[in-house]
Chains A and B, each alone.
Chain A
Amino acid sequence: MSLENMLIVGAILFVIGLYGALARRNVLVVLMSIELMFNAVNLTLVAFAKYVAPAGLAEDLTQNIGGVLTGQVFAIFIITVAAAEIALGLGIVFAMYRSTGSIDLSEATQLRN
């Protein structure tokens, strides 16, 4: 387990999520793919927090002791935003299902027609 391994796992997870978000017709699959991408980013941030030195670490750790936790704090914020996103996203899915009777993105063309 090294920094590169973690980054590559994060990259693969992100790319799978990107493909799912772009190439699938079902809204719920798109939402799940976006959650995959959030998870990949969190994984990368935590890997950087664990393996990469923040500024000032080499001279004196105590001067910038919070720096080694910054990546984890970012991940907490991303988890919060992701929770808000999934709540709103599912609200939109329900509204769409009620008005069109379908959750197929290819049929969501009310704004175009």
Chain B
Amino acid sequence: MLVQDIVFWILAVAVIGAALGVVLVKDLFHSVLLLVVVFIGVAGFFVMMSAEFLGVVQVLIYAGAVSILVIFAIMLTRDVQRGNLPNRIQMPALVLSALLLATLVWTATQTEWDRIEEGQRDRVDLVQTSSVSLVTDETLQASGFLTGEEQAAARQAGLADLLIGDFVLPFEAVSVLLLAAVIGALALVRTR
């Protein structure tokens, strides 16, 4: 537990500091590099919260693809010299952000969340990490899936099963959205 707490605080300080840097640093190139730090820190949070698959996806898509795209955009637009200037509504934006932060923190700390009980913790962790770990009879029993029915249900549960099961409609919609985005991006940058 102690190690987890130390890692959490290191990641939290790194992520929040780098996020502040993204917004405040003058040099655009430095803000992209800080953005990569944020992405990798968030991937670390995902791994800590037993979402290992999402952590890998985060590193591949965000730290890999998105940051490279933004670096390309910065290199191609040559507007870097002017840097990262504020606009006229800086103060209202600051006030709005502070108010929103106060509201969010108040809600997060005051709400009585319906937490997962300690007795269920191992079982939930096993289901959440099943996409990257080897699920054997021994690990199932160690986590508390004792009967055959429960073990069958735990084996079947997983991200892929949900994506093409309960969430198949959003899944297809997102596929069409990606296709539309590719076509749209090509149409936007085409030279006539």
Offer 5 A-B interface pairs, CB within 8 angstroms, sorted by A.
A12-B19, A39-B62, A68-B116, A73-B159, A95-B188
**Closest B residue, CB atoms, query A7:** B108
Chain B residues near A72: list those with CB within 8 A: 51, 53-54, 128, 159
- Mark A18-40 against chain B: 1 for CB-CB distance below 8 A, else 0: 11101111101101110110010
A29 to chain B, nearest CB (A): 5
Given A23-B87, A28-B74, A51-B115: A104 and B79 interface contact (C-beta under 8 Å): yes
A85 to chain B, nearest CB (A): 8
Interface of B: prevailing SS? helix
Establish whether residues B69 and A87, one from each chain, have CB atoms under 8 Å apart when the complex forms: yes
Chain A residues near B51: list those with CB within 8 A: 46, 49-50, 72, 75
Establish whether residues A69 and B189, one from each chain, have CB atoms under 8 Å apart when the complex forms: no
Q: Which of B19, B57, B70, B184 contacts A16 (CB 8 A)?
A: B19
**Closest B residue, CB atoms, query A102:** B79
Kindly identify, within residues 161 to 192 of chain B, every residue whose CB is under 8 Å from any CB belonging to chain A.
161-163, 165-167, 170, 174, 177-178, 180-182, 184-186, 188-189
Establish whether residues A79 and B58, one from each chain, have CB atoms under 8 Å apart when the complex forms: yes
**Closest B residue, CB atoms, query A72:** B51
Establish whether residues A6 and B49, one from each chain, have CB atoms under 8 Å apart when the complex forms: yes
Chain A residues near B93: list those with CB within 8 A: 18-19, 22-23
B136 at the interface (CB under 8 A from A): no
Complex: A77 Cα to B153 Cα, angstroms = 24
Chain B residues near A83: list those with CB within 8 A: 61, 65-66, 178, 181
Chain B residues near A28: list those with CB within 8 A: 28, 70, 73-74, 77
Q: Which of A8, A26, A76, A82 contacts B54 (CB 8 A)?
A: A76
Q: Which of B54, B124, B167 contacts A42 (CB 8 A)?
A: B54
Complex: A25 Cα to B84 Cα, angstroms = 7
Establish whether residues B127 and A91, one from each chain, have CB atoms under 8 Å apart when the complex forms: no
Establish whether residues B189 and A87, one from each chain, have CB atoms under 8 Å apart when the complex forms: no
Kindly identify, within residues 86 to 114 of chain B, every residue whose CB is under 8 Å from any CB belonging to chain A.
86-90, 92-94, 96-98, 100-101, 104-105, 108-109, 113-114
